[in-house]
Structure 1
Amino acid sequence: MSDVTTPEYLDSKDLPGFHKVLGYEQASWEENEAVITVKLQPHHLNLAGVIHGGVLTSLLDIALAQAGTYCPYPGRMRKAITLSLTTSFTGQCSGGTITVTGTKRAGGSRIFNSTGEVRDDQGNLLAIGEGTFRIRSGSESPEGVPI
């Protein structure tokens, strides 16, 4: 029998620094896919009153990296660094909840590629992204490293 269990997600309020500022919640996370949500707040908006492109890009970066670093072992995690990230902005919104989905598309033992999208709560596409990531040393195996 395996020690693998359904993971308890860490919300950004439980994480340090910029993650806490973004204020996202983990909606789901499984092998090759991660979904995070954010209830937009005034600090997520730009001077025009719509979601800032840097917020969209940062959330895509997190979800795309998570898509390739799922770890089902409690108290452990896998880590990756971003090698490249491309974001295309396709819409705007100024309120509600946005959903960011990342999907791992391809990869080897250390390098992987993911794609993703951001949608508002009406299903409108706000941004799409594609990234290449490298698994950090110690995180190659599904067991990852201690949190």
Structure 2
Amino acid sequence: MSLDNPHISGGDDLPGFHNLLGYRQVSWEEDEAVISLELQPRHLNLGGVIHGGVLTSLLDIAMAEAGTYCPYPGRMRKAITLSLTTTFTGQCSGGVIRVTGRKRAGGTRIFNSTGEVHDEQGNLLAIAEGTFRIRSGSEKPEGVPI
């Protein structure tokens, strides 16, 4: 799925904390979501490299999206994070990073996802595993109105 799809947004179209991060949706389909972020000074820690909280937040978003794809424009599915484990494997201070979330297993309400973050050169920056719960009303593919 591409950004041309009317129910994929990014950047300034995102609500709250998502807007603060400023990521873009690259693709979103059943069991996989990809987002990207052009690093800005606000994303860096005191050492001048991407902050671990930014990486963890992006992984959380992409992994939750992997289990909540909704093919219906104007509607969405929602999930909450039950657990999230992040391992940091590299650093970068500029460019565009790419975050991929993949749903690995799950039932009607609970699912598990994994995620990876890579820099522009393909270097692995972080990996994660998470468990998510589908929110009430979001169990069916048509989800809820946005």
| Percentage of pairs with the same residue | 80
Structure 1 residue 16: deviation in Å?
1.8
Per the alignment, residue 27 of structure 2 pairs with 28
Per the alignment, residue 14 of structure 2 pairs with 15
Per the alignment, residue 62 of structure 1 pairs with 61
- DSSP-derived class of the 1:57 partner: helix
Query: 2: distance between equivalents of 1:121 and 1:79?
Result: 30
Query: 2: distance between equivalents of 1:70 and 1:20?
Result: 20
- 1:105-120 equivalences under 5 Å are 105-120=104-119
> Quick check: 2:29–2:69 contact (8 Å CA) kept in 1?
yes
> Quick check: 2:7–2:74 contact (8 Å CA) kept in 1?
no
Per the alignment, residue 52 of structure 2 pairs with 53
In structure 1, the gaps of 5 or more residues are 1-5
Per the alignment, residue 129 of structure 1 pairs with 128
Inter-CA distance 131–59: structure 2 relative to 1 (3 Å threshold): same
Q: Which runs of 4+ in 1 moved over 4 A?
A: none
Per the alignment, residue 142 of structure 2 pairs with 143
What is the root-mean-square deviation in Å for CA atoms of aligned residues? 0.8
TM-score by length of structure 2 reads: 0.95
> Quick check: 1:81–1:134 contact (8 Å CA) kept in 2?
yes
Matched, 1:93 2:92: yes
Query: 2: distance between equivalents of 1:66 and 1:13?
Result: 18
Matched length: 142
In structure 2, the gaps of 5 or more residues are none
> Quick check: 1:7–1:72 contact (8 Å CA) kept in 2?
no
1:60-100 alpha-carbon deviations (Å, 9 max, x no partner): 00000000000000100000000000000000000000000
